[in-house]
Amino acid sequence: MKELNFSLRQLRYFLVTARHRSLRQAALELGIAQPSLSAQLKALESALEIQLLERSRGGIALTPVGRTMVAEAKVAVGAAETMHEAAQLAAHGPTGTFRFGVAPSLGPYILPWILPQIRDRYHGVKFFVREAVSSALVEGLKGGSYDLILTPKPPEDPALVMMPIMREPVDLVIYKSHPFAKLESIKPAQLAGMDILTLEEHHLFFNQVEKLCKRFKARLLRDFEGTSLDAIRQMVYMEVGAAFLPALYIRSEIRDRDELHVLRIQGESIYRVHALMWRATSPFRGFYRELTAFVREVSQEQFSDAVTVQ
C-alpha cells in the first residue's frame, strides 16, 4: 500500500476552502497567509495525485472529484477528532462544556438537585442546558445538536445508547370539589367517562395519557390540551377536568393538598421511565456511563420518596 503523504491539517484546509469557494476568505478564517494556504492545497493534490480545485482569476471551484472528496475529508477529520477527544478523556478525565437536552416535563423538577452535585463531582465539566420535547431531543442528539439528553424513554434507536435512570409514578389529580376528593384511591372502573386533561400532542407524555384514557374508558379533552404541566394543573384547579400528573411534578408543585387532591388507582402501577441517552459513537460514552451511575445515586438520595431508581 502506498504511503500517505498528506496531513490532517491539509484536509481541514481543503474543507474550509471548499466551504468558502475563496482562498482569501478561507485564509482569513484559518488565520494564515493566502500563499501558505495555496501551497498546502497543492501539496494535498500532489499527494493524492488528483486535482481538487479549479483555479482562475475569478476564484476557485471544486472539480467533480473534489466535490466527492469533501464527504471523505469530513469523515477523516471527524474520525481524527474523535480519537483526540478519546485520548484527552483517558489522559485528563472529562472536561469542557456539554450540550445537555432535557424534557420540560422533567427538567425543572430534577435538575436543580442534580446539576450542583455533578459540578461538585466533575470540576472540569459544564452543562449548557436546553429544554425540548422528547422527539426534538432525540433528533437533535442524532444530528449533533446535543451531546447528552435526559428524557422519558422513547422508542429504541440503534444509533443511540439509552440508560434508564428511574421509574416515576403517575397519579390522578382532581379538584377539591370533585365527588372523589374524599377518597384516597379509586377502582379503575370509576374512571369511565371522566374528563381528562393532557399536554399537547407533540409531548411524549400525551401518548401515555391517551393510552390510559382508552384503557380506562375515560374521555380525553382534546379541546383543552396544555402547553405545560403548570397549565394542566391550573385547568384542574379551575375544575375543567382531572389529569394524570408525574410524581416529581406533584412533589414539587402541589404542596397544598387542600387545593387539589391526588388519587391512586387501585391495582394499577402507572409510571414513566426516564433515561440518559447519547450517541453510540461518542468518545465520551465511558464518562456518560459513569455519569448515569452518579445520577442514579443522587436521585436515590433526593427523590426516594417519589420515584424508584433503576
pLDDT per residue over 148-160, tens digit each?
Answer: 999 999 888 888 9
Of 91, 116, 137, which residue is a domain's last? 91
Domain harbouring 14, CATH code: 1.10.10.10
Instruction: Note down the domain range covering 232.
Output: 169-271
Q: Do residue 159 and residue 246 come from a single domain?
A: no
What pLDDT was estimated at residue 92? 63
What pLDDT was estimated at residue 245? 94
What pLDDT was estimated at residue 224? 77
Buried b (16+ CB within 10 A) or exposed e, 51-64: ebbeeeeeebebee
What value does the mean pLDDT take over residues 168-190?
92
Residue 257 pLDDT class (50, 70, 90 cuts) = low
SS3 category, 233: helix
Joined together, the cell numbers standing for residue 91 give: 489522559
**Which among 221, 274, 222, 257 has a CA at the least distance from the CA of 106?**
274
Model confidence at 93: pLDDT above 70? no
Does 98 reside within a domain?
Answer: yes
Does 294 reside within a domain?
Answer: yes
**Which among 106, 112, 234, 238 has a CA at the least distance from the CA of 170?**
106
Number of domain units in the chain: 3
